[in-house]
Amino acid sequence: MRVLFFVGLWCAQGNILFFEGALLKKVLPQVRQLCRGRRHVSLVVNEILHDRLPWREIPDGVVVHRISLSDIHAVSGGLRDRQADLYREPDSALSKDLATYFGNVIADAPDVIVARETPVSSALQFIETTRCA
């Protein structure tokens, strides 16, 4: 089973590190637990969170997708939080642009997506679309 954890990429409440607490205290323990069950686990984070990860605590084999701030800016028009926009307009050009981007970044479509602190429809809308691309 392939499990992908998605942590918000944009600045939330004006802070690019807003999701760091959830990542360290909630997501990483879940990643470690799933790895014990021999599942293929991957994680999507922005480059700032990527660079702050406690790498010694991440099990071997976990694929971490580092999304650069310049890519986030290029695909979504900036770093401001776009999740509400995606929630309101799930079929928008932004959603399609993100689907294309993630289709190129994530090689294997996950069986399960765990979206932390993000509206489910916004995160799953564009990541799930990569399965059909």
Q: What is the pLDDT of residues 31-87, one digit of tens each?
A: 999 998 888 999 999 999 999 999 999 999 999 999 999 999 999 899 988 888 877
DSSP state for residue 116 in the 8-state scheme: E
Number of domains in the chain: 1
Confidence class for position 129, pLDDT limits 50, 70, 90:
low
pLDDT at 64: 94
pLDDT tens-digit profile of 100-120? 888 888 877 788 888 876 654
Burial class (CB in 10 A: 0-12, 13-18, 19+), 58: middle
**Mean model confidence pLDDT for the chain:** 84
Residues comprising the chain, all counted: 133
Nearest Cα residue to 49 out of 22, 29, 83, 75: 22
Q: Which domain holds residue 118?
A: 2-129
**Which CATH number belongs to the domain containing residue 78 in this structure?**
3.40.50
For residue 123, what are the contacts with CB-CB under 8 A and spacing of at least 6?
Answer: 6, 83, 113, 115
pLDDT at 125: 53
